[in-house]
Amino acid sequence: MDTALLIKAFGALFAIMNPFAHLPLFLSLTTGRSVASQRCTALRIAGYSAVICAVFLVTGTSVLRFFGVSVDHFRVAGGLVLLTIGLSMLSGAGFAAHEGSRRERSEQEEHAHDPASDVSFFPMAFPVVVGPGTITTIIVMDAQAQGLGGHVAVVAAIALVLVVLAVVLFFAAQIGQHLSLSLRMVMTRLMGMILLSIAVAMMTSTWQIGRASCKERV
């Protein structure tokens, strides 16, 4: 297994999917429901998120080829998306590139507060947990994987983040009592810094590959 890629992929995915940052929204959307109901919803969110991640992990590069987009070009675009999300996390302004605009979030909350609605798939699994930032990271990291060990590392990173997500949401009621606003703010900004670093690495690696290719032609 590629340990370096495992750590890198886990760091990027955890920063974007940050279960602790989504905890207040989960509690808000499940207000008035029993603890048992909340826990069932938490497990469904983790399950739906796993399915969505698996779909893009398997089909991501094929979709890029279908549209004639190279992995290098997508890596730059993905780096810009993650850069935007990271800057938003640092400023505390929220990240519309991942969670949607204010109007879209308002529509999601209206749908979620319908007593008959199930929030586990929409809006929690998609687009809150698995949004454009998560999808971009999965495709780029899988494209960077070399050999079976690299692909196993990416899958392991996704699985680890989803396990943490399931545990945090499963015990949301208990964790929410001890997770202060200040602590959530510190965690969000720390994850923003990590995300910015990974975004810069994505874009500079593409530039370095292009530079090396030019030297070989010369």
Please determine, for residue 213, whether its predicted confidence score (pLDDT) is greater than 60. Answer: no
Distance (Å) of CA 202 to CA 54, 71, 123, 208, 213:
22, 11, 28, 10, 17
Distance (Å) of CA 10 to CA 54, 94, 120:
15, 21, 23
List the structure tokens of 203.
């874009």
Nearest CA to 57 out of 202, 198, 155, 153 is that of 155
- How do residues 71-88 score in pLDDT, each as one tens digit? 888 888 888 888 888 888
- Report pLDDT for 11: 93
Please determine, for residue 99, whether its predicted confidence score (pLDDT) is greater than 90. Answer: no
Check: CB of residue 143 under 8 Å from CB of residue 8.
no
Please determine, for residue 9, whether its predicted confidence score (pLDDT) is greater than 90. Answer: yes
Q: Could you tell me the pLDDT band of residue 139, with boundaries at 50, 70 and 90?
A: very high
Cβ burial, residue 4 (10 Å; 0-12/13-18/19+): exposed
Please determine, for residue 112, whether its predicted confidence score (pLDDT) is greater than 60. Answer: no
- How do residues 143-186 score in pLDDT, each as one tens digit? 889 899 999 999 999 999 999 999 999 999 899 888 777 887 88
Point out the least confidently predicted range of 2-11, 92-101, 113-122, 136-145: 92-101
List the structure tokens of 111.
């749908």
Please determine, for residue 106, whether its predicted confidence score (pLDDT) is greater than 60. Answer: yes
Average pLDDT, the chain: 85
Q: Could you tell me the pLDDT band of residue 92, with boundaries at 50, 70 and 90?
A: confident
Instruction: Compute the radius of gyration of the chain from its Cα atoms.
Output: 18
In single-letter form, the type of residue at position 196 comes to: L
Greater pLDDT, 217 or 36? 36
User: How large a percentage of the chain has pLDDT more than 70?
Assistant: 83
The full set of domain ranges for the chain reads 3-217
Section 105-130 average pLDDT: 74
